[in-house]
A and B are shown apart, each in its own frame.
Chain A
Amino acid sequence: MLVFFYLFAAAAVLGALGVLLLRNPVYCALSLVATMSALGGVFILLNQEFVAAIQILIYAGAIMVLFLFVIMLLNLRSDEQFIARWNPGKVVGIAMALVILAQLVGVFTSASATLGPAGEYPAERIAKEGAVEIVGGLLVTQYVLPFEVASILLMVAIIGAVVIAKRQIAKPSQEGR
């Protein structure tokens, strides 16, 4: 199990690094797909097959396909760099990221770092009752409010996208200004 975990984790981290470091936007997007899929693997290891399936379907599938479409429609050439040249800010930024990484390693390896009490749904119970039933049940009972409100959140995001897109359609002459 542990071997698989490290395998998936390494894949996720590598994918994320690829998003940051690769120059061709298409490769970047594909790296993101790799990361998302690897995360799906991690969910499987946690006995969350349902979440894993959703993760891969939605992120690796739907959303990333959309990303790729957009990138291709915009017809970006591979020499369009996403990465600025090295500058002091970037060096400090990377240093800070490394410090945060070190801090996190310190936190999680610390002897006194303990997890809180286990939840009400151990793996056996999930296996018995079925992940879909449990997640679905929780969403419409205990977490019905966040679930419903999340739909407002998504709608706001959609409105935002529409407003910005509509503007481009309404006033094409504004482009490139």
Chain B
Amino acid sequence: MSFTLSAADFLSVLPESILFAMGMVVLVFEMFGTGRDTRNLAYLSLLSLLVSGFALHRLAGRGITGFGGSITADPFAIVLGMIFLLVVALIVLVSIRYLHDRGVGHGEYYALLLFACGGMMLMVSSTDLLTIFIGLEILSISSYVLCGLIQGDLRSNESALKYFLLGAFATGFLLYGMVLLYGATGSIRLPEIAAAVNRSEVRGNPMIWYGLGLILVGFGFKIALVPFHMWTPDVYEGAPTPVTAFLSSAPKAAGFGALIRILTEGLGALTPEWSQVLWVVAALTMTVGNALALQQDNIKRMLAYSSIAHAGYILVALVAGGRDSLGGVLFYLLAYAFMNSGAFAVLILASSPVRERVTFEDYRGYGYVEPALALAMVVFMLSLTGIPLTAGFAGKFQIFKSAIDKGYVWLAVIGLLNSVVSVYYYLRMIVVMYMQRPTAEHPPERVVPSVPLYVAVAASALGVLYLGVFPAGWLELSVRSVTSLLAGG
């Protein structure tokens, strides 16, 4: 048995390795660091993300695979990796002041973010179930800890505990599903699983179906699809706001990425069946997410439910399948990353340890106190609603267009109706900011300036507008990126 590691093997995991290594460097620096000031660590983390992004960029177009094909640096993985790096960079930017103000002196925070990012990139670039699972667990465990990071904050602790217990529960489903697939096909590699499933006698094997179902449940939890979504609002509300911003976009993107890879590269032969299941799940997810978002007074909770609804929209594209739809997924993930992170960044900027601004009432008359900030919030809300000339519209348009094109008219109609309903609660933010006067309980206050936060808000707003006005470039790239996925599967 001869086995040698080649340069390609190392190259294929270079971006992840950089993040893991730098995560440890951050930990070491933290030991010798200067007390509670973790800002240097934040900038070090940003640098790591940048370097990793550069490495990822250099991998593009080379079609490198490593470790006997279990890691592939295909365009799909690279594009998703870029999205993760971008989200995490935005999260680092919005965290700096938040942690500093609240005296959270944990340099581990940034290390965990880097590890989580590496885990996500591993998830989407891996083509075997084992590595996907390990990547997912790195992400999950980092997330659990990040949730509970604030000292003495009961909400934060509760959030971490709930997430941990339920996450472990869901992981059980996922792992058992993977095991059944392995049992039925004799392999953990997606191409080999695909080859086995393509044989008709294996297709009739109930173990395959049961495995598929359990995997859908496991990912359904991670992506927070209805009916596996119930943990979301509690966890999102309790977690520190930057962590919520992180949880509501990046891990979902990673979950979708890995799920798409498993379902297309591994179980493409079962498409008619899993897309039927996901049809129902998508319809439920959009509807329940939106209906519940209507009720919320707390913006973090509202955004939590709305993130469920958006996952439903993305799922519509997964159901429809094909190049245009899956390209639409990538487009939507980036668009959502911008608008969601941006909205959270505004919340963080407006809050201070003395006064958290997380309910709608807190933003009464904000449009006149902080015109620029409120305007940015308007852009994010309009984009989440899907108003033209914003990224959200371009994304929704691409998704629903390809769904109708594939004949999923009713699903698209459900999605569009939900999108109509969603106006109601996104609009509420604009209403309170511009059409209500501040009251004595909710006095207006200028925010304490913070350059990193301003950068995050501005970058997100520009991203939303750029993708809305000039979506062509990114959309084309997205569609091209999924081509290899469908052809190679």
- A–B contact with Cβ pairs below 8 Å: the answer is yes
A104 at the A/B interface (Cβ < 8 Å)? yes
| Inter-chain contacts of A104 with B (CB < 8 A) | 210
User: B106: nearest residue on chain A (CB-CB)?
Assistant: A163
B204 at the A/B interface (Cβ < 8 Å)? yes
| Inter-chain contacts of A136 with B (CB < 8 A) | none
User: A159: nearest residue on chain B (CB-CB)?
Assistant: B108
User: Contact between A107 and B145 (Cβ–Cβ < 8 Å)?
Assistant: no
B186 at the A/B interface (Cβ < 8 Å)? yes
A160 at the A/B interface (Cβ < 8 Å)? yes
Q: How far is the CA of A116 from the CA of B207 in the complex (A)?
A: 10
B299 at the A/B interface (Cβ < 8 Å)? no
A117 at the A/B interface (Cβ < 8 Å)? yes
Q: A104-B210, A115-B183, A116-B184 are in contact. Are A156 and B141 (CB under 8 A)?
A: yes
A87 at the A/B interface (Cβ < 8 Å)? no
> Which residue of A145, A164, A174 contacts B71 across the interface (Cβ within 8 Å)?
A145
User: Contact between A115 and B130 (Cβ–Cβ < 8 Å)?
Assistant: no
> Which residue of B135, B151, B182 contacts A167 across the interface (Cβ within 8 Å)?
B151
Of the candidate stretches A11-19, A33-41, A147-155, the one touching chain B is A147-155
User: Contact between B154 and A163 (Cβ–Cβ < 8 Å)?
Assistant: no
> Which residue of B67, B135, B185 contacts A144 across the interface (Cβ within 8 Å)?
B67
| Inter-chain contacts of A115 with B (CB < 8 A) | 183-184, 186
Q: How large is the interface on A (under 10, 10 to 19, 20 to 34, 35 or more residues)?
A: 35 or more
> Which residue of A107, A119, A137, A167 contacts B206 across the interface (Cβ within 8 Å)?
A107
Q: How far is the CA of A163 from the CA of B149 in the complex (A)?
A: 8
Interface of A is mostly: helix
Q: How large is the interface on B (under 10, 10 to 19, 20 to 34, 35 or more residues)?
A: 35 or more
User: A112: nearest residue on chain B (CB-CB)?
Assistant: B204
A75 at the A/B interface (Cβ < 8 Å)? no
User: Contact between A107 and B210 (Cβ–Cβ < 8 Å)?
Assistant: yes
Q: How far is the CA of A152 from the CA of B451 in the complex (A)?
A: 33
| Inter-chain contacts of B468 with A (CB < 8 A) | none
B20 at the A/B interface (Cβ < 8 Å)? yes
Interface residue ranges of B3-41 to A (CB < 8 Å)? 3, 5, 13, 20, 24, 27
User: Contact between A112 and B206 (Cβ–Cβ < 8 Å)?
Assistant: yes
User: Contact between A114 and B184 (Cβ–Cβ < 8 Å)?
Assistant: yes
> Which residue of A107, A118, A152, A159 contacts B118 across the interface (Cβ within 8 Å)?
A152
A106 at the A/B interface (Cβ < 8 Å)? yes
**A116, A142, A155, A162 interface centre (most CB from chain B within 10 Å):** A116
A91 at the A/B interface (Cβ < 8 Å)? no
Q: A119-B186, A177-B154 are in contact. Are A145 and B138 (CB under 8 A)?
A: no
B178 at the A/B interface (Cβ < 8 Å)? no
B426 at the A/B interface (Cβ < 8 Å)? no
| Inter-chain contacts of B186 with A (CB < 8 A) | 115-119
Shortest distance between the CB of B54 and any CB in chain A (Å): 21
Shortest distance between the CB of A42 and any CB in chain B (Å): 14
Query: When each residue 268-279 of chain B gets 1 if its CB lies under 8 Å from chain A and 0 otherwise, what string results?
Result: 000000000000
User: Contact between A149 and B134 (Cβ–Cβ < 8 Å)?
Assistant: yes
| Inter-chain contacts of A156 with B (CB < 8 A) | 112, 115, 138, 141-142, 145
| Inter-chain contacts of A177 with B (CB < 8 A) | 152, 154
User: Contact between A116 and B196 (Cβ–Cβ < 8 Å)?
Assistant: yes
User: B115: nearest residue on chain A (CB-CB)?
Assistant: A156
User: Contact between A141 and B1 (Cβ–Cβ < 8 Å)?
Assistant: yes
Interface residue ranges of A86-126 to B (CB < 8 Å)? 103-104, 106-108, 110, 112-119
Interface residue ranges of A26-65 to B (CB < 8 Å)? none
| Inter-chain contacts of B134 with A (CB < 8 A) | 146, 149-150, 153
Q: A141-B3, A142-B3, A174-B152 are in contact. Are A159 and B145 (CB under 8 A)?
A: yes
User: B5: nearest residue on chain A (CB-CB)?
Assistant: A144
Interface residue ranges of B174-232 to A (CB < 8 Å)? 182-187, 196, 201-202, 204-207, 210
Q: How far is the CA of A162 from the CA of B184 in the complex (A)?
A: 40
Q: A116-B183, A142-B3, A156-B142 are in contact. Are A103 and B210 (CB under 8 A)?
A: yes
User: A164: nearest residue on chain B (CB-CB)?
Assistant: B148
User: Contact between A163 and B115 (Cβ–Cβ < 8 Å)?
Assistant: no
A157 at the A/B interface (Cβ < 8 Å)? yes
User: B136: nearest residue on chain A (CB-CB)?
Assistant: A153
User: Contact between B145 and A163 (Cβ–Cβ < 8 Å)?
Assistant: yes
User: Contact between B205 and A149 (Cβ–Cβ < 8 Å)?
Assistant: no
Shortest distance between the CB of B124 and any CB in chain A (Å): 14
A171 at the A/B interface (Cβ < 8 Å)? yes
| Inter-chain contacts of A171 with B (CB < 8 A) | 151-152
Query: When each residue 158-177 of chain A gets 1 if its CB lies under 8 Å from chain B and 0 otherwise, what string results?
Result: 01101110010011001001
Query: When each residue 68-109 of chain B gets 1 if its CB lies under 8 Å from chain A and 0 otherwise, what string results?
Result: 101100000000000000000000000000000000001010
Q: How far is the CA of A174 from the CA of B68 in the complex (A)?
A: 51
A4 at the A/B interface (Cβ < 8 Å)? no
Q: How far is the CA of A23 from the CA of B242 in the complex (A)?
A: 39
| Inter-chain contacts of A146 with B (CB < 8 A) | 130-131, 134
Shortest distance between the CB of B94 and any CB in chain A (Å): 20
Q: A156-B138, A156-B142, A174-B151 are in contact. Are A149 and B131 (CB under 8 A)?
A: yes
A143 at the A/B interface (Cβ < 8 Å)? yes
Where the two chains meet, the residues of A that have a C-beta atom closer than 8 Å to any C-beta of B are 103-104, 106-108, 110, 112-119, 137, 141-146, 149-150, 152-153, 155-157, 159-160, 162-164, 167, 170-171, 174, 177
Q: 17 A-B Cβ contacts within 8 A?
A: A108-B207, A112-B205, A114-B201, A115-B183, A116-B186, A116-B202, A142-B3, A145-B67, A152-B20, A152-B118, A152-B138, A155-B24, A156-B115, A159-B27, A160-B141, A163-B145, A171-B152
Where the two chains meet, the residues of B that have a C-beta atom closer than 8 Å to any C-beta of A are 1, 3, 5, 13, 20, 24, 27, 66-68, 70-71, 106, 108, 111-112, 115, 118-119, 122, 130-131, 134-135, 137-138, 141-142, 144-145, 148-149, 151-152, 154, 182-187, 196, 201-202, 204-207, 210
Q: List the 6 shortest-distance A-B pairs measured between CB atoms, nearest first.
A: A116-B186, A160-B145, A141-B3, A174-B152, A117-B186, A107-B206
